[in-house]
Copies of this chain bind each other. A is one copy, B any other.
Amino acid sequence: MTIVYIAIACGLIAVLYGLVTSQQVLRAPAGNQKMQDIAAAIQEGAKAYLVRQYTAIAVVGVVVAAVLFFTLGALSTAAFVLGAVLSGLAGFAGMHISVRANVRTAEAARGSLQGGLTLAFRSGAITGMLVAGLGLLSIALIFWYLVDVAGNAPNGDEIIKALTALAFGASLISIFARLGGGIFTKAADVGADLVGKVEAGIPEDDPRNPAVIADNVGDNVGDCAGMAADLFETYVVTIGLTMVSIALLVAGTSEQLLALMALPLIVGGVCILTSIIGTYMVRLGSGQSIMGALYKGFWTTAILAIPAIWFASQYTLGDLNAPIGDQAFTGMDLFWCMMIGLGVTGLLVWITEYYTGTQYRPVRSIAKASETGHGTNVIQGLAISLESTAMPTIVIVVAVIASFQLAGIIGVAFAATSLLALAGMVVALDAYGPVTDNAGGIAEMAGLPDDVRTRTDALDAVGNTTKAVTKGYAIGSAALAALVLFGAYTEDLTRYFPDIVVDFSLSNPFVIVGLLLGALLPYLFGAFGMTAVGRAAGAVVEDVRAQFRDNPGIMAGTSRPAYGRTVDIVTKAAIKEMIVPSLLPVLSPIVLYFVILAVDSQANAFAAVGAMLLGVIVSGLFVAISMTSGGGAWDNAKKYIEDGNHGGKGSEAHKAAVTGDTVGDPYKDTAGPAVNPMIKITNIVALLLLAALAAG
Q: A-side interface residues toward B, CB under 8 Å?
A: 190, 193-194, 198, 365, 369, 372-376, 378-380, 382-387, 389-390, 393-394, 396-397, 400-401, 404-405, 409, 412, 479, 482-483, 486-487, 490, 504-507, 509-513, 515-517, 519-520, 523-524, 526-527, 530-531, 533-534, 537-538, 541, 599-600, 610-611, 614-615, 618-619, 621-622, 626, 658-659, 661-663, 666-667
Interface of A, secondary structure class, is: helix
The CA-CA distance from A506 to B372 in the complex, in Å, is 46
Residues of B within 8 A of A615 (CB): 618
Tell whether, in the assembled complex, residue B663 and residue A530 are in contact, meaning their CB atoms are under 8 Å apart.
no
**CB < 8 Å neighbour of A390 from B520, B541, B614:** B520
**CB < 8 Å neighbour of A382 from B530, B618, B619:** B530
Tell whether, in the assembled complex, residue B523 and residue A614 are in contact, meaning their CB atoms are under 8 Å apart.
no
Residues of B within 8 A of A517 (CB): 393-394, 397
Tell whether, in the assembled complex, residue A533 and residue B618 are in contact, meaning their CB atoms are under 8 Å apart.
no
The CA-CA distance from A166 to B396 in the complex, in Å, is 37
**CB < 8 Å neighbour of A375 from B412, B599, B626, B663:** B663
- Given the interface pairs A372-B541, A534-B379, A659-B373, the reply to whether A509 lies near B386 with Cβ below 8 Å is no
Residues of B within 8 A of A534 (CB): 369, 376, 379-380, 383
Residues of B within 8 A of A486 (CB): 506-507
- The contact sample of 9 A-B pairs, CB cut-off 8 A, is A372-B537, A375-B663, A379-B530, A379-B533, A380-B531, A384-B527, A486-B507, A615-B618, A619-B622
The CA-CA distance from A524 to B533 in the complex, in Å, is 28
Closest chain-B Cβ to A321's Cβ sits at a distance in Å of 24
Tell whether, in the assembled complex, residue B506 and residue A511 are in contact, meaning their CB atoms are under 8 Å apart.
yes
Q: Which residue of B lies closest to A491 (CB)?
A: B507
The CA-CA distance from A397 to B611 in the complex, in Å, is 13
Tell whether, in the assembled complex, residue B619 and residue A523 are in contact, meaning their CB atoms are under 8 Å apart.
no
Residues of B within 8 A of A519 (CB): 393, 618-619, 621-622
The CA-CA distance from A210 to B405 in the complex, in Å, is 60
- Given the interface pairs A512-B482, A517-B393, A523-B622, the reply to whether A194 lies near B380 with Cβ below 8 Å is no
Closest chain-B Cβ to A240's Cβ sits at a distance in Å of 21
**CB < 8 Å neighbour of A400 from B194, B389, B509, B531:** B509
Interface centre among A198, A372, A396, A409 (most CB of B within 10 A): A372
The CA-CA distance from A487 to B505 in the complex, in Å, is 11
The CA-CA distance from A666 to B372 in the complex, in Å, is 16
Tell whether, in the assembled complex, residue B614 and residue A527 are in contact, meaning their CB atoms are under 8 Å apart.
no
The CA-CA distance from A193 to B373 in the complex, in Å, is 11
**CB < 8 Å neighbour of A378 from B372, B378, B520, B614:** B378
Tell whether, in the assembled complex, residue A379 and residue B666 are in contact, meaning their CB atoms are under 8 Å apart.
yes
Tell whether, in the assembled complex, residue B386 and residue A523 are in contact, meaning their CB atoms are under 8 Å apart.
yes
- Given the interface pairs A614-B506, A662-B375, the reply to whether A600 lies near B512 with Cβ below 8 Å is no
Residues of B within 8 A of A621 (CB): 516, 519
Q: Which residue of B lies closest to A393 (CB)?
A: B520
- Besides A376-B537, A401-B510, 8 more A-B contacts (Cβ < 8 Å) are A373-B659, A383-B531, A387-B527, A394-B517, A404-B509, A490-B507, A506-B610, A523-B622
